[in-house]
Amino acid sequence: MSGPESRKERKVVTCLFADLVGFTARAESLDPEDVEAILRPYHERLRSELERYGGTVEKFIGDAVMALFGAPTAHEDDPERAVRAALAIRDWARDDGELEVRVGVTTGEALVVLGARPEAGEGMAAGDVVNTASRLQAAAPTNGILVDATTYRATERAIEYRDAEAVAAKGKSDPVPVWEPLEARARFGADVAETQTPLVGRDHEREQLASALERAKNERSVQLVTLVGVPGIGKSRLVGELFQVVSESPELVTWRQGRSLPYGDGVTYWALGEMVKNQVGILETETAEQAREKLHAEVVRLFGDESEARSVESKLGLLIGLDTGPEEPEDKRAERFYAWRRFFEELADQRPAVLVFEDLHWADDDLLDFVDHLVDWAVDVPLLCVCTARPELLERRPAWGGGKPNASTISLS
């Protein structure tokens, strides 16, 4: 219970419920100490995954957990964070083999207790969104997840779903429409927002992007264009317009796209790693050995020099999380930057390339430094780098792109 002085506020939150399958019946025949020994690492792992994506654990109830995304701290992508956390929990349970889970995720308005201390047993939120998440969890398939319509609409570009049968939930007059998330999408060219309606009032900006691409192709040079604006102003739509131009052009262009994440471990070069994985054709379901084979084949295809190919392959392996050789110290950054740049130079040398760095305001300084390095040092290749960012990027890097004859910033308002 929260204290008598606690203030309450209506907030939009995403609620996640997860529960072990069949554990209650199993626990009846176990000693309480054995039950606690099983649940402790389970609770620790769930808390770790939920907090990794920015969630807050409100409570554990035996083998069940309730977590909130959007309270006490709100992010614009709380539904996506929650679904990614649910997928991580599901994957862990599948890999573990000993435990099975069901997860429900809903998004909606809740009455949130400001200043609540969940670690002290104080409740954080109440409302239909909480109750519905619990109902969806109970209806989810074994090692599966169900989300409601609001969560689905907020995440369908970032998460791959399949339709599921509506859930007849207690307390609801009509069945609740639900979807089952399968896996997180890597944000590549095929994931660009479809242009369904004409883009009005952005002809000048659209022409600037198209002209930058033409300069890159005609001059065989690197061009950098940064789209800066507040959320919802149309940065992604402009990128989508450029993708349409590329798609309709008779000249083949390589399009690679990656997104910087605001949360998670090992995300320093996440956007860059997405681009490399997509170019190499690495799937999330493949083993490390299969990924290594694909990486080797692609590097051999691009590079004629065997010695350089080995070096580039090793540095790319580090980028995408493959152990392709002896571990390198952190002070080898310059060598990694050189190898990664050479990969993209060879890629663009075969045919013009567009690299889209999404949400660069969330990028670590190391990734910003690499983009700078790429734009400054890549030579004699038709390469367009498009970055999207909020104004916070220019607060961190006031001179971003400044002084470069091949760089421009488009401020959207």
Fold of 189-411: Rossmann fold (3.40.50)
Count of C-beta atoms within a 10 Å radius of residue 198: 7
Q: Do domains 7-184 and 189-411 have the same CATH topology?
A: no
Cα distance between residue 217 and residue 206, in whole Å: 17
The pLDDT assigned to 30 comes to 66
Ranges in the chain, pLDDT < 50:
1-4, 187-197, 324
Q: What is the pLDDT of residues 77-118, one digit of tens each?
A: 889 899 999 999 999 888 877 778 999 999 999 988 876 666
For the chain, the domains span 7-184, 189-411
Cα distance between residue 50 and residue 137, in whole Å: 16
Count of C-beta atoms within a 10 Å radius of residue 12: 16
Residue 339 phi/psi, 5° resolution? -65, -45
The pLDDT assigned to 256 comes to 92
The pLDDT assigned to 158 comes to 80
Coil, strand, or helix at residue 190? Answer: helix
Asked if the 7-184 domain carries CATH number 3.30.70.1230, the reply is yes
Cα–Cα distances in Å, from 64 out to 20, 98, 247?
Answer: 7, 16, 48
Q: What is the DSSP letter of 225?
A: E
For strand 56-61 and strand 64-69, is the pairing parallel, antiparallel, or unpaired?
antiparallel
Q: At what angle do helices 288-302 and 270-280 cross, to 10 degrees?
A: 80
Cα distance between residue 393 and residue 368, in whole Å: 10
The pLDDT assigned to 305 comes to 77
Q: What is the pLDDT of residues 272-310, one digit of tens each?
A: 999 999 888 887 667 888 889 999 999 999 997 788 899
